[in-house]
Structures are given as structure tokens and as C-alpha cells.
Structure 1
Amino acid sequence: KAIMAEIEKASLGKIRVYAYTNPHTVAMEEKIKLSAVIDKLLIADPSLEPQAQDLIMQARQNGKRVIYLPHLAEDTLKRIPVELLELFEEYYKAVFQREYMPSPAKRILDIAGSIVGLVLFSPLVILISICILLEDGLPVIFRQKRIGLNLEPFTIHKFRTMKGENKEAKLASQEVHRMMKISKWMRPFRLDEIPQFYDILIGKMSIVGPRPEQPEFVDRYSALIPFYNYRHNIKPGLTGWAQINYPYSETIEETRVKLSYDLWYVKNRNILIDLKIILQTLYTVFFKKGGR
């Protein structure tokens, strides 16, 4: 019901639930047969489907479409709620366990975009490097282990925004006291992430994909959140569907919601969606409310 309520809201009332039923409800069979307001029969629990064949056949005979909750949720919400992943576990395991072929078009976009980014931001690279040196000395570049494609660790590169060095895995909100002055204008516009164009160029990252997490957080989230590791079926990204649709996540529940956007992208990604995400990211960073 919670998912259907969200679908009703997202569709601006175009999709509404007329009634809930189980396969043995005779009264509902009559409603499907006689009611003019019902145009679809929604299967929301696959375990009940084998018992509902008569009901499904009757609905089709009366001109009612039979649809499944995953398709409706993905089309309307543009995310895959974790509750839905658990309910339709067999279906989604088959989807996410299939072999993913790398897209030549996506790699071309990554190479072209990373070269343009490095050239375009080269004056800022020099300016930021000088500012970091003057405020807190070396090193200018911050290197950290992250988890990438197929759960393989790699080294990510960013401009350093914190004073000193901290090797423990921590959320950004836990390190506010260590932030340098320059980070106040770097982070809102994500300028600290300019060096990641190098990571994209060498093939460790993509322009669009799930954000790479630290190994400690990946271990924690994968133990607590079903399907979490399927976000690593593709390369991590500088920006992504989750980043433009959901704010920074710190709690397990927030991470579950953000994962729902990541997995929708993993399942439905294509070059047009990538271009949409890139344009929306540029708009958000420069014209709306800064980076997330």
C-alpha cells in the first residue's frame, strides 16, 4: 500500500487503486466484470499468482489489462524500492545476474567527456592547487580506496578539502571540523571532484554511474541491504541517477532509498539517460542548488 500510495502521488492521480483483493475474493471478480472504472488488474504479490489464474483470465476476457507491480513502479517512480526487490526476488535476481556487456558508446562518451573536462578546468586545477598549498601545504590531491566495477577496489582522486590526514572511513558530516576554508566554495560546485576526470579517462570510473563507496561502507551496506552489491555491476560514476534524485545519504534507510535509484539506472541505463543525467547535473550544480 505504501508503494501504491507513492505511485498515485507520482502519477498526479492518473493511477488509482480501486480495491485490494486476493485470488479467492468472489466479490472482486464481480467488480472486475462489471465496473467501468477498472481498466487493469495489478499483480502485486507473485506468490498469489498461481492461485489467481481464473481471476486473471476473467479480467482479460473482460478487456482488462494484467500488469505487474515492478513494471508499474519502475515506469512511474523511476526507482526500484527495496521492498519490491524482496517481493519479486526471483525476477530481479534473473535481471541483475545476467552478463552486462560494456557499451562502446558509453566509453566514447567517457573518454570525450573526461578530456574536455580536464582541458576546460585546467585553469581551475592550477588555482585550486595553489590555494590548497597556501592554506595547508601538501598533498594537494587526496587519494582513497573505493569499490568499483565487480567489487574491485581502485584509487579515487580528489582535491583535498580536509586538514591533515584521516585514514578511517567516515561520512562527510563527521569531518566538518577538519574542512579547509577553500572547501566552502569548492564542494557546492563539486570542484573537488575535477581530478576524477583522470579516473574516468583511465577506465576506473564513468561519467554516469553509482557513486563509489569506501570498502568499509560497502561491507556494512551489503550485509544490511538486499541487492546492494548489484550496484557494482557497472562502473561507478562522477554523477548518477541517484545523485540527481536524492540528497546525500547517511542512515541505512536513506541508503536503501538511494540504492533504489541506483538499481533503476543499472537496469534501465542507456546513452540517452546518461545525457539527461549529465545535463541535469550541470543545471543543478550551476543554476539551482549546488552539488549533492
Structure 2
Amino acid sequence: MSEESYIHRRNRPLQIYAVIFLILLYVPVLFLPLFSFNDSLYTTFPLTGFTLKWYEELWTRDAMWAALFNSIKVGLFVAAASTFLGIFAAKAITRYRLPGRGPIVGFIMLPLVIPLIIFGVALLVLLSRLGVPLSLYTVSAGHLIVCLPFAIATLIPRFEGFDQAIEEASADLGENGWWTFWRVTLPMVFPGVLASFILTFTVSFDEFIMAFFLTGTQPTLPVYIWGQLRFPQSFPSVLALASIIIAVSFVMVILSLYINRGAQFGGTKGSGHD
């Protein structure tokens, strides 16, 4: 038996596990677009026929579109803010010796391990005591708490893998710290910045618990969908919208991977010596 054949046989259980994992993870999601074309109010087999009326009905649901745009606005703001703060936090954590660094980082990462319902109730009580009205601003504040740890966790490996000698060379050539960051550091860690932005936008867009407690009269899309689950006649349109979101998300992921790959190849080509 050749070595290649032996390795392939040894890894076969892992390959089977990976296939089963992917099936359990993605097959349920594929039922959403399948039932969105079903000519029935109920998501049951057998399918009664093919139709596009649920997609056509989307254009008449102003409340759904308003909720979608609310989620997009909150997601873009939270992604930009958390990535911006995450860049400087990750740089400080990896570049400087901070007193109490371990406890500080642990405190920032708490939302990753503490149930979000606790944060949601705590923020709701605090905002009520302060007399702050619930709105998209309060939802954004809650999502920022949730998304900042994801941004920092995504950016720290990029800064740890970054060669500090490049920054030192920029300083030796007379560049100050600010322009060194913009012209040298930021382009080198840009793939991590892009990954952080996409990840935090996705987390904010999908988040329900914090939005449920902190939303006012302008619900985000997850809160709106939760409210529509009580009305069977609205559910097929929700499936149609979810199918569109899945398709757009797929395109965004492919685009981010393409940009990330291009940035890596560009960095490799630019690192050669003349």
C-alpha cells in the first residue's frame, strides 16, 4: 500500500464527518428558497406547484422593506464603528505592554460567553432609568457591544502576523506614526479589516435578542420576522425575502474572498526585492 493511499484511508473518517457536518449545516437552509417557490401558504411536502407570486408580493410589503433597511443601516454603522475601534484595540493589545492587559481583554470579550439576554435586559433597565427612548440608536449601541469582540478577535491575528520591522523602516525613513499607520500598517492588515467589517455586519444584521429588547417603533428585520410568524399568510413572503438575503450574502462572501486573495497576492508581489 502506497503512503498516499494509506493517508487517504486514515483520513476517511474525518472526510465522512466533514460531509455529514456540511449536510446538517446547509441542507436546512436550502429548504428556504425551495419553499419560497411553493404555491402554498404552508411549508410542507409535497410541493403544490411552482410560483413567483411570493416574490412579487414582497414589493407590496412596505413594513418589511422598512425593517430590512433598518437592519442594513444599523449593520453598516455597527460594522464601521466596531471595525474602527477594533483596529486600534487590536494594535494596542499586540504592540504595547498594557497594565492589566489580561483582565481588560477578558472584559472586552465577555459578550462572547455571557448570554445576550442578560445584556439586553441590563441595557433596557439602564436606558429606562436614564429616560432614553428606544430607537435604532439604542439597538446600534447594543449591537456594538456584541460586535466589538468579534472585530478584535478577527484583527488580532492580522497584527500579530504583521512584521513590525516594516513599520520601523518607515519610521527610519522619516515618516511619523500617523502616516506610517495609514500608508503601511493599514494596507497590510486590510484583509483583516475587510473580514471584520463583513463579520460584524452579518452578526448585527442577524442579531435578534438585543434588538428585541432595545428596538422602539422601528423594528429590525429579525424582530419583524418574529412578529410575522403568527400570521401564516405572511410567512411565504418572509421565505422569499430570506432567499434573496441568502443569495446576496453568498455573493458578498465570494467577493470578500476574492478581495482578500487579491490583497494577499498583491502583498506577496510587493514584498520582493529589486
The TM-score, its normalising length taken from structure 1, stands at 0.24
Q: Which structure's relative contact order is higher, taking Cα pairs within 8 Å and 6+ residues apart?
A: 2
The TM-score, its normalising length taken from structure 2, stands at 0.25
Q: Whose helix proportion is higher, 1 or 2?
A: 2
